[in-house]
């Protein structure tokens, strides 16, 4: 009998196979050729369609779910249906990794108490540390104020050294330094489950009888995984990089803008080292009756930001550009004039090909987007360190509207 089967490779420290009533099919395959070198290969077996597997990485973490060491999946037509989110994954996405990517306390320029500096880093084989991104995090509000990444080779940031004695080297140890255990638990629950997040949202406004018009919240990264090279993209999954965004905005102009920025970083790399800063500004509010009510997913914490911004700086060319996405699909036409706080130059930015397509960047439903002179932007968005703009030329000459070649 020809059974539909899944190959299970012991890339895991432990694997518990809960078999179905059907006999499994065994297949002979040399998996060393199809599994990345960083995934430890021990042996292989075959599972029948419908078999459930409990995958456990012990002290490690799963490649596709870097916050988790244990996962349930069911064999389905040669792939794995993950119980956590219902996604259908290939074997190569469900291997284990050691906790090589870390989120640690670190001194960050222009980030001082009560804000906490963070660094996303990679432990190299020679015991050295490579920093991939930094964040300035507001622990009181539960949101990053700004983050930074570079298009330098391997996303390497040059930072002042820090002491590992003050930076725990395990994933959950780092989160204990960043959040207390209760806050960390809330953040993970909020941003890992859209259903739970939106249930919370509707509870907050159930007495206001607000009509959300089929709009829902989802979690999105300030720094896109597309900004990073290869496996470095996993650091974008750290919960400190997440914010609550309306889904039509997240899949609309926020995604379009991030795709354009990612392409700009890659195309600029041979010619210039470019830094990208991303962050939030203001709290989004909903009109209830004659007043507006700010949206927090917990009491005065985990706000839904009003603006999500990205600043690109080419220091050698003394040029920069600020891209701002309004995280408010409910904004009225009469409110747009006061909401767009700079004269937008998006129509002049030649490399914004995805964002400008069909002029959807002007639609609030998808996240009204506008492009600012960085000096005008910093005058409004206090979260961005104005000192970073000391060498950027003012006016049109200082705007990064063309790709440097």
Which domains are assigned to the chain? Answer: 5-97 (no CATH), 116-398 (3.40.570)
266, pLDDT greater than 60? yes
| Six token digits for residue 344 | 């937008």
The owner of tokens 């005065």 is: 300
Residue 210, pLDDT score: 84
Number of H helices, E strands in the chain: 8, 23
Residue 261, pLDDT score: 98
69, pLDDT greater than 90? no
Per 3-state DSSP, what percentage of the chain is helix, strand, and coil (rounded to 5)?
A: 30, 30, 40
Q: Which of the four pLDDT bands, split at 50, 70 and 90, describes residue 185?
A: confident
Residue 75, pLDDT score: 87
How confident is the model over 156-182, as a mean pLDDT?
Answer: 57
| Six token digits for residue 249 | 């905005």
pTM of structure: 0.76
Share of the chain above pLDDT 90, in %: 47
Residue 401, pLDDT score: 94
How confident is the model over 124-146, as a mean pLDDT?
Answer: 87
Q: Own/partner pairs for 223-227, CB < 8 Å, 24+ apart?
A: 223/133, 223/147, 223/149, 223/276, 223/278, 224/258, 224/259, 224/261, 224/262, 226/258, 226/259, 226/262, 227/149, 227/151, 227/155, 227/258, 227/261, 227/262, 227/265, 227/276
Dihedral sign, Cα of residue 288, residue 291, residue 297, residue 298: negative
Residue 128, pLDDT score: 79
Higher pLDDT, 29 or 339: 339
CA distance 65 to 52: 18
Q: Which of the four pLDDT bands, split at 50, 70 and 90, describes residue 181?
A: low
Residue 348, pLDDT score: 93
Phi-psi region of 86 (alpha: psi -120 to 50; beta: other; left: phi over 0): left
| Six token digits for residue 209 | 């009888």
Residue 47, pLDDT score: 75
Phi-psi region of 299 (alpha: psi -120 to 50; beta: other; left: phi over 0): beta
Residue 126, pLDDT score: 67
Residue 405, pLDDT score: 57
197, pLDDT greater than 80? yes
22, pLDDT greater than 80? no
Of 49-53, 290-294, 314-318, 319-323, which range is least confident? 49-53
The owner of tokens 């040059």 is: 158
Classified as helix, coil or strand, 167 is coil
How confident is the model over 170-176, as a mean pLDDT?
Answer: 48
177, pLDDT greater than 60? no
Q: What is the pLDDT of residues 39-58, one digit of tens each?
A: 443 345 677 888 888 887 76
Higher pLDDT, 130 or 289: 130
Higher pLDDT, 122 or 352: 352
CA distance 196 to 199: 5
Residue 55, pLDDT score: 81
């Amino acid at each position: 009998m020809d059974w539909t089967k899944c190959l299970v490779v012991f890339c895991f420290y432990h694997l518990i196979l809960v078999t179905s009533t059907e006999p499994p099919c065994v297949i002979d395959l040399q998996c060393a050729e199809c599994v990345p070198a960083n995934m430890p290969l021990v042996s292989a077996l075959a599972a029948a369609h419908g078999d459930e597997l409990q995958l456990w990485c012990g002290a490690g973490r799963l490649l596709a779910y870097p916050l988790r060491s244990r996962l349930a999946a069911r064999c389905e037509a040669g792939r794995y249906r993950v119980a956590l989110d219902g996604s259908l994954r290939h074997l190569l996405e469900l291997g284990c990794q050691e906790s090589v990517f870390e989120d640690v306390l670190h001194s960050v320029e222009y980030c001082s108490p009560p804000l906490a500096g963070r660094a996303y880093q990679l432990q190299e084989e020679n015991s050295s540390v490579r920093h991939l991104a930094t964040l300035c995090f507001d622990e009181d509000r539960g949101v990053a104020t700004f983050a930074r990444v570079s298009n330098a080779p391997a996303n390497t940031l040059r930072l002042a050294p820090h002491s590992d004695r003050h930076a725990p080297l395990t994933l959950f140890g780092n989160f204990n330094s960043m959040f207390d255990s209760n806050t960390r638990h809330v953040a993970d629950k909020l941003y890992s489950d859209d259903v739970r997040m939106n249930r919370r949202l509707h509870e907050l406004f159930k007495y206001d009888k607000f009509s959300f018009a089929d709009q829902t919240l989802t979690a999105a990264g300030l720094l896109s995984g597309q900004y990073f090279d290869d496996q470095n993209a996993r650091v974008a999954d750290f919960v400190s990089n997440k914010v609550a965004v309306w889904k039509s905005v997240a899949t609309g102009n926020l995604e379009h803008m991030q795709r354009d920025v990612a392409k700009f970083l890659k195309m600029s790399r041979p010619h210039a080292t470019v830094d990208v800063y991303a962050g939030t500004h203001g709290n989004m509010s909903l009109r209830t009756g004659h007043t507006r009510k700010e949206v927090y997913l917990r009491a005065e914490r985990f706000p839904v930001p009003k603006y999500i911004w990205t600043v690109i700086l080419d220091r050698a060319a003394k040029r920069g550009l600020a891209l701002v996405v309004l995280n408010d699909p409910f904004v009225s036409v009469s409110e747009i004039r006061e909401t767009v706080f700079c004269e937008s130059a998006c129509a002049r930015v030649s490399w914004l090909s995805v964002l400008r397509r069909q002029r959807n960047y002007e639609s609030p439903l998808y996240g009204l987007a506008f492009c600012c002179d960085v000096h005008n932007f910093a005058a409004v968005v206090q979260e961005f360190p104005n000192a970073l703009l000391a060498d950027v030329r003012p006016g049109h000459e200082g705007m990064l509207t063309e790709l440097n070649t």
